[in-house]
Amino acid sequence: MVESGSSHRLCPARSHELLCEYHDGVACLTLNRPERRNALSGELVDRLSETLRQLEGDLSIRAIIIAGAGGCAFSAGTDLKDHRRSDPKYRAAQRNKAWALNEILWQFSKPTVAVIHGWCLGGGLELAISCDFRIAASDAIFGFPELGLGAFPGAGAPVILPRLIGMTAAKDLLYTGRHFGAEEAAALGLVSAVTSPDAALPHARQFAQRFTLSSPLAIAALKRLFSEAEYRSPKEAGALSDMLHRRIAASEDSEEGLRARAEKRPPVFRGC
């Protein structure tokens, strides 16, 4: 386990297609296929899923950043070169893997931040909207081109996008497949901030660092409530909120927070 507060250190992503480093409680995962605009190959999806599962259980990591290498793209989507060489059974398996990856992010207990430079299309944009937050460089270009290719956005966009920007705006983007820029993405509420290209990753690091100061148990509980409350009646959602509140109030982190305030020092949360 890497201690929170340590200097930069690589983590074992076990693939040249995914780079990973820790710094002060934040893990930065970099899609490393710049020659293919960081298109999502089967290997890259596998490694990203595996690494996220490992980081889920690492108490020293409090937030995750996902970025793309090379500066020209976050991810241009599914690697169509792989798909053209494969049979329908293989393509179906790859779609299932992409859905499973994004499902990991939907259920992930720690805050996740996508940092978007250049192209962010199709499956790459589905990956980005599966994160909690998105920071966009001013050169970011977004779009869902699937329908123009006779395909279907099958890794979560029709489910997640309307919750982020509303049904009418989601239909516009999905039906037309049109490209749109960072400023429109911000106006739609799709991204949290727009920065200069050079400032996007530093901004995301500072943004993610704020989450390391909060109780990881409380963040995980809120993420669960946000995820599940939408599907429950107000009474059921209130009962879930009350259960989570009581669980956090009985935790060691809650005691530490109160003790730290009384002692006028920063709390040291341990996630228990």
Catalytic residue among 146, 183, 228, 236: 146
Rounded distance, CA 58 to CA 225, Å?
Answer: 22
Query: Could you confirm whether 146 is annotated as catalytic?
Result: yes
Catalytic residue among 50, 126, 228, 255: 126
Catalytic residues: 126, 146
